[in-house]
A and B are shown apart, each in its own frame.
Chain A
């Protein structure tokens, strides 16, 4: 039997029972749509997180107290161990080779108000180097200066969203705002970044000198009574210097914290690449997880195909008998039913791919916390979904097809 004949026969057979074929196909359509849709969300989240970190400046090492949970997410870790003096020590090129800039920072939530308006936002205590390390550009005014830090000035730089929330169209520069009830003067406004990280907009923040943060806003101290910082960013001259710098940082901090040789580090130094790698790993697992859940619906679709093919074989037992009496070989019957199953899954996955594109397009238009997940259907996802679906189609078709092929022609002819 030629392939073209088998194809025509399979199409005719599926077309003669349109409702049943469509319903069977629906299982595969939903499965493929779900696989493509959900995996594109996973990929979108991955792309979003990676790009957020790549915005932050290059060759940066993050020093954090104790061991953070997965990545940088979650609340600050239990024991504050890093201090301003640690930051100063790391800034010394005698201690850390190839160091370019060091920026300690603290953060907390607090209420900020101006006139009748008030918002709760992230308050960052920073030093001037923070601007370069985090690639901040100013829309107006100026950034926090060394003088502001050393004099513990009550000045603030606003993120774009905080500025609009509090001042609307008014010029914020020189205005007096209240942070946790204390008066601060606005000296600068950041340019909008437009991004969001884990649902928090990068424009939704406010910065004050780190010294002012400690003395006027939030008291946080280490066990020995020094002012504690939440993180220290260390920028080095080149990517090649990163490993060496991490080694130096560990050395300096272990000495300063007076750790014995067998004590564990009470801090952690990780490079941006490492963080991005970790996040990519997490989101990769997340993507696979989503795909696997969607894969279950594809599996159910495959069971649907097997079910319908078994019914179809039973219904067409006589037809199989006639075909065999007229000279159909086992492989002809096998091919006929296998092709029908394959066509259901092939057409189903083609429609499912279109469905997946639509779903991921709709998702990328939904705004979550300032930014939509840029769900993108990539070719590898499509290829994966289609091949899994065809594989499932063939596997679920093979048992019914074998049953049909093995029928004894005489029994089949006298069936029913």
Chain B
């Protein structure tokens, strides 16, 4: 039996906006097995981004327990969380979040810069770009690339440090149908190669491409 990579146990998250408290998550319990491809679907405000941020170690839950590979994430300090994000998790964002003044190559290289002691940095960076089919565009800046290409650079960046988990927050949200299909086929291929993938979307046909779909509504898992 494959072991659980991610275990969420009764996770809550409360934001305080002035005097108003917003319950973004109201007790989420969930486990995701290593190698799974899971989609999270829900309306905006349903708490899906908050959940992804917590899974991605960008945010801390208000209460509840989060184990990543059996490690209690709530016990980690800022530096250890940064290390988790750097080595174990790759992020893909809706609006790509590439550094606008850096080339594709420099963008992909970023996680390796923060890793320390990585050998063959240039080779690994070039390899990742090659893998997403942008070997010839290494020295282009984001503004010189199409949306689909920019997202592929972002995927190469997420992969370059060889993380076990890929988190994608509406990765096709800003793309046309053709590019969307391209990006989704890359995610499916990553899944076949054994990566664990968690994908947020609000489009059911995108969600359907995952093995499992988790529906979130009002801070709770509904199915």
Contacts and interface: CB of A to CB of B under 8 A. Distances in A.
Interface of A: 1-2, 5, 9, 12-13, 16, 318-319, 321-330, 332, 409-410, 413
A327 B114 contact: yes
Contacts of B2: none
Contacts, number: 62
Nearest to A330: B78
A318 B97 CA distance: 8
19 contacts: A1-B116, A2-B113, A5-B113, A12-B101, A318-B97, A322-B97, A322-B98, A323-B114, A324-B58, A324-B82, A325-B85, A325-B97, A326-B85, A326-B111, A327-B114, A329-B83, A330-B82, A413-B58, A413-B93
Nearest to B157: A326
Give the most central of B59, B116, B161: most A CB within 10 Å. B116
Contacts of A409: 58
B53 A327 contact: no
A1 B93 CA distance: 24
A352 to B, nearest CB: 28
Interface residues of B, number: 26
Given A326-B85, A327-B111, A330-B79, A410 B59 contact: yes
B110 interface: yes
Nearest to B83: A327
B91 A329 contact: no
Nearest to B101: A16
Nearest to A331: B79
B220 interface: no
B99 interface: yes
Contact of A328 (B59, B82, B91, B97): B82
Contacts of A328: 82, 114
Nearest to B100: A319
B86 interface: yes
Nearest to A2: B116
Contact of B85 (A318, A319, A327, A330): A327
A16 B102 CA distance: 10
B146 interface: no
A328 B93 CA distance: 17
A327 B86 contact: yes
Interface of B: 53, 56, 58-59, 78-79, 82-83, 85-87, 91, 93, 97-99, 101-102, 110-111, 113-116, 157, 161
B103 to A, nearest CB: 10
Contacts of B115: 327
Contacts of B86: 326-327
Contacts of B83: 327, 329
A268 to B, nearest CB: 70
A4 to B, nearest CB: 10
A322 to B, nearest CB: 5
B97 A329 contact: no
Nearest to B53: A410
B78 A325 contact: no
A139 to B, nearest CB: 73
A320 to B, nearest CB: 11
A342 B127 CA distance: 35
Nearest to A5: B113
A127 B85 CA distance: 92
Contacts of B97: 318, 321-322, 325, 413
Contacts of B102: 12
Given A325-B56, A325-B85, 13 more contacts: A1-B113, A1-B114, A1-B116, A2-B116, A324-B58, A325-B58, A326-B85, A326-B91, A327-B82, A329-B82, A330-B79, A410-B53, A410-B59
